[in-house]
């Protein structure tokens, strides 16, 4: 990414694949690939350096727009302070603060991160259980058939685990706690794990 600086101010961001006219001079696109940084700087074009110090994971935070500054010798783009997304659900409101209703008159809800991740893991649990649903269906249709005990144990373990996951997620006091819960770390033996844990190994 490049910036054109004129009279000490950033005036545009050339795309780097087209020529550019600066004052009375026209330059080909090759200046972005064949010229040195010093040669480009001499005509007011600088390579933009992005400072990601304040940028955070967009799954959990809302980042600001990038602000570009010229220091006299370089152009830097930087983020402001990121805002954590809401953990809890909230009633949706309009710009005047009035609650928003759907077509049937029900309150519209803006779901928070806790609901998002609980729904995510419930969907994963449902997908795991679906693979062994046929055992249960067969047992209901065929009186002489019983669901194998290892399948029954597995299905109960999946439900127990997803309930535990929901409890752990609900227990997070802030976004950083939720991030910690979901983040994998590697121990000294190279084993990866996360505080949230995992569903039991599949049994089919």
Taking only the tens place, the pLDDT of each residue in 77-119 is 999 999 999 999 999 999 999 999 999 999 999 999 999 999 9
Residue 64 has pLDDT above 80, yes or no: yes
pLDDT band at 153 (very low <50, low <70, confident <90, very high): very high
Predicted confidence at residue 204, as pLDDT, reads: 75
- Is residue 16 scored above 90 in pLDDT? no
Residues 60-67, mean pLDDT to the nearest whole number: 98
Q: Is the pLDDT of residue 172 over 90?
A: yes
- Dihedral sign computed on CA atoms, order 115, 119, 121, 125: positive
Tell me the β-bridge partners of 178: none
Indicate if the pLDDT at residue 166 is higher than 90.
yes
> Which run of H or E residues covers position 120?
helix 113-130
Q: According to the model, what pLDDT value does residue 137 have?
A: 97
Residue 121 CB neighbours (<10 A): 20
Give me the residue label for tokens 């998002």: 116
What does the pLDDT look like over 182-192, one tens digit per residue?
999 999 999 99
Q: What is the mean pLDDT of residues 170-185?
A: 97
pLDDT band for position 134 (cuts 50, 70, 90):
very high
Instruction: Tell me the pTM.
Output: 0.83
pLDDT at residue 198 in the model: 98
Would you state the structure tokens that stand for residue 91, as one six-digit string? 């009633």
């Amino acid at each position: 990414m490049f910036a054109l600086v004129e009279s000490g101010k950033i005036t545009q961001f050339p795309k780097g694949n087209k020529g550019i006219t600066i004052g009375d001079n026209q330059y080909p696109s090759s200046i972005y690939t064949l010229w040195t940084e010093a040669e480009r700087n001499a005509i007011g074009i600088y390579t933009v350096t992005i400072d990601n110090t304040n940028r955070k994971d967009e799954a959990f935070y809302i980042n600001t727009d990038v602000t570009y500054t010229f220091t006299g010798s370089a152009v830097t783009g930087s983020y402001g302070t990121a805002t954590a997304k809401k953990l809890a659900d909230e009633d949706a409101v309009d710009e005047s603060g009035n609650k928003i209703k759907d077509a049937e008159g029900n309150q519209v809800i803006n779901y928070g991160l806790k609901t998002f991740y609980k729904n995510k893991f419930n969907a994963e649990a449902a997908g795991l259980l679906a693979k062994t649903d046929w055992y249960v269906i067969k047992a209901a249709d065929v009186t002489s058939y019983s669901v194998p005990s290892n399948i029954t144990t597995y299905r109960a373990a999946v439900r127990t685990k997803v309930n535990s996951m929901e409890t752990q997620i609900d227990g997070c006091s802030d976004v950083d706690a939720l991030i910690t819960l979901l983040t994998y770390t590697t121990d000294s033996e190279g084993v990866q794990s996360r505080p949230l844990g995992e569903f039991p190994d599949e049994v089919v």
